[in-house]
Amino acid sequence: MTTRVFPLMARRFLSLSQNCRSLTRAEIPGEKLDAKRARLLYQSKKRGILENDILLGDFAERNLQTMSADQLKAYDKLINGEHMEWDLFYYLSDKKTPPKDVEECDVYKMVKLFVDEKRVPKK
């Protein structure tokens, strides 16, 4: 009997995990644009390390309201995707070279430009 129950449980678990696997933290199906902006603003300010809280929080305050739906999706993927928090900081601060997909992302370029302008003191 246990040999029959285990495969049934395993099949259920695998089917559930395959359904959940396709979603990353960054994807929320059916999310309204205003809700996405609010969520991204909050997530930009509460990163887990102070350096990214400041850099991404300031960027989000100044730019999220004017970003398109596609740009918001790319920003969501950038900050909530597969890259570790410290790696993201190192990419933005030129301590590490970002992967090609990050480096070629238009939203990453916007954030990087913002960070670079923030770093250079204004005269």
> Looking at residue 30, what is its pLDDT?
86
CA distance 20 to 105: 26
Residue 14's pLDDT band (cuts 50, 70, 90): very low
> Looking at residue 120, what is its pLDDT?
72
Q: What architecture does CATH give domain 25-119?
A: Orthogonal Bundle (1.10)
Q: 21: helix, coil or strand? A: helix
> Looking at residue 3, what is its pLDDT?
55
CA distance 8 to 6: 5
Q: Quote the pTM value.
A: 0.75
Q: How far is CA 113 from CA 19, 35, 116, 120, in A?
A: 37, 26, 5, 11
CA distance 34 to 42: 12
